[in-house]
Amino acid sequence: MTDINAYEETPEAQFGDYVALLKPRVMSLVVFTAFVGLWIAPGEVHPFIAFCSILFIALGGGASGALNMWYDRDIDAIMNRTQSRPIPAGRVEGSEALGLGIVLSVISVMMLGLVANWFAAAFLAFTIFFYAVIYTVWLKRWTPQNIVIGGAAGAFPPMIGWACATGGITVESLLMFALIFFWTPPHFWALALFMKEDYHKAGVPMLTVTHGRPTARRHIFAYTLVLAPFAIGLGLTSVGGPLYMAVAVVLNAAFIRGGWQILRRSEEQAVADGFAVERQVFKLSLYYLFLHFLALLVQSWIGGW
Amino acid sequence: MGLRTEHEIHGRRRSRNIGLGIVLLCFVALVFALTVVKVRQGDMMEAFDHQPRVSLIPAEAEDAAAAPEVAE
């Protein structure tokens, strides 16, 4: 007898569900910054080697995304924003995501080692470990500083790209790291100010809730001040130039101004205009990072100092 | 005809099979292309197996080995 109902218990995922486990939107940032890091690095890299390097860095980033979705499946089921992810929606089982994450991590690290060099591969392995274990498992549910330290995972890709081309770390790659690292807190907390406090309800401590919104405003402004010297300092290195410098000065001035406006506002003012300034600064933060890296890319094409 | 009816589950399964097939084919093509590029760049193509290969012994060592023979 045919028993078609037997199938309905097992989740049968489509191909796209596995792609969704790799967080394609996060991957696009990884691809862009890793590409810039690789492209502006000194030395010739064969275009196909460069392509493969970026591909496996992105795959490593995707693998850590799958590991993150496996570990966070309990809180993803609570928050509105993440309920439609493959695991909480019941299309993929948690163990499948874990398996996919581990297998893709190994493949991406081994392939990056064979394509580029083993230093870059070890760096990628460390980044996956940092995001999946240090951030997701340890810091995320423990401290409201989670995104500050976790931001390092997002800041490593340009350093890995640079390491693919040069086999090492230099002041330029460290400054590219600092640019993303110190950009993450103001970017995220500006979002946290106008976003619903979903995260906190799900058990992820957020600065806006644990220390209050005025504290978050002070932190945003402080980080925009810390960020500026690193962003402008990058312009003084071998990868900088007049164009990058002009872009960095304008964007940092605008970002500090935004941070100052956020600091000066009271909660009442913010609620009155529907968090207009906070939304504007969040939007600016997206352009901030994109334009800095774009400027580095264009500067390397037209030649630097 | 009940046995021939296609359940929606089969469509999802097919999407997975085709997707994985494409990914594996791309991976094979990628490794092949990578091999071509690496070989053209002159990267080392052979390594020591169970005994030293003549083609991999540094030139200085060969010269030094050859020198006593000349002396005799």
**Which band of pLDDT confidence, cut at 50, 70 and 90, is reported for residue A182?**
very high
Which pLDDT does position A304 carry in this prediction? 84
> Which of the listed residues A145, A168, A191 is the one where a domain comes to its end?
A168
Q: Do A48 and B13 touch (CB under 8 A)?
A: no
For the domain that residue A137 is a member of, what is the CATH number?
1.10.357.140
Q: Do A128 and A252 sit in the same domain of this protein?
A: no
Mean pLDDT of chain A: 93
Say whether pLDDT at A118 is over 70. yes
What's the complex ipTM? Answer: 0.84
Say whether pLDDT at A305 is over 90. no
- In 3D space, the residue among A250, A237, A240 whose CA is nearest the CA of residue A287 turns out to be A250
Assigned domain for A6 exists: no
Say whether pLDDT at A191 is over 80. yes
What's the mean pLDDT in A192-210?
83
**Which band of pLDDT confidence, cut at 50, 70 and 90, is reported for residue A105?**
very high
Q: Do A15 and B20 touch (CB under 8 A)?
A: yes
| Domain, as residue range, for A144 | 14-168
Say whether pLDDT at B69 is over 60. no
Assigned domain for A186 exists: yes
| Beta carbons within 10 angstroms of residue B67's beta carbon | 9
Helix (H, G, I), strand (E, B) or coil at A20: helix
Q: Do A256 and A112 sit in the same domain of this protein?
A: no
What's the mean pLDDT in A123-143?
95
Q: Do A208 and A161 sit in the same domain of this protein?
A: no
Closest chain B C-alpha to A34 CA, distance in angstroms: 20
Report B:2-41 residues touching A (Cβ under 8 A). Answer: 2-3, 7, 9, 12-13, 15-16, 18-20, 30, 33-34, 37, 41
Of the partner residues A2, A7, A16, the one whose CB lies closest to the CB of residue B2? A2
- Chain A residues within 8 angstroms (CB to CB) of chain B: 2, 4, 7, 12-16, 18, 46, 48-49, 52, 55, 114-115
Assigned domain for A73 exists: yes
Assigned domain for A23 exists: yes
Assigned domain for A253 exists: yes
Q: Do A7 and B9 touch (CB under 8 A)?
A: yes
Number of domains, chain A: 2
The answer to whether A153 and A194 have CB atoms below 8 angstroms apart is no
What's the mean pLDDT in A270-296?
95
pLDDT tens sequence across B29-59: 999 999 999 988 876 666 666 777 777 677 7
Q: Do A252 and A217 sit in the same domain of this protein?
A: yes
Higher pLDDT, A81 or B53: A81
Q: Of A8-22, A51-65, B46-60, where does the model show the most confidence?
A: A51-65
Token pair 């037997």: residue: A6
Q: Do A86 and A193 sit in the same domain of this protein?
A: no
Q: Do B16 and A13 touch (CB under 8 A)?
A: yes
**Which band of pLDDT confidence, cut at 50, 70 and 90, is reported for residue A199?**
confident
Of the partner residues B3, B16, B34, the one whose CB lies closest to the CB of residue A52? B34
Q: Do A164 and A176 sit in the same domain of this protein?
A: no
Contacts 24+ apart (CB under 8 A), B13-19: B13/A12, B15/A14, B15/A15, B15/A16, B16/A12, B16/A13, B16/A14, B16/A15, B16/A18, B18/A15, B19/A15, B19/A16, B19/A18
Q: Do A177 and A163 sit in the same domain of this protein?
A: no
> Which of the listed residues A131, A153, A168 is the one where a domain comes to its end?
A168
Say whether pLDDT at A278 is over 70. yes
**Which band of pLDDT confidence, cut at 50, 70 and 90, is reported for residue B72?**
very low
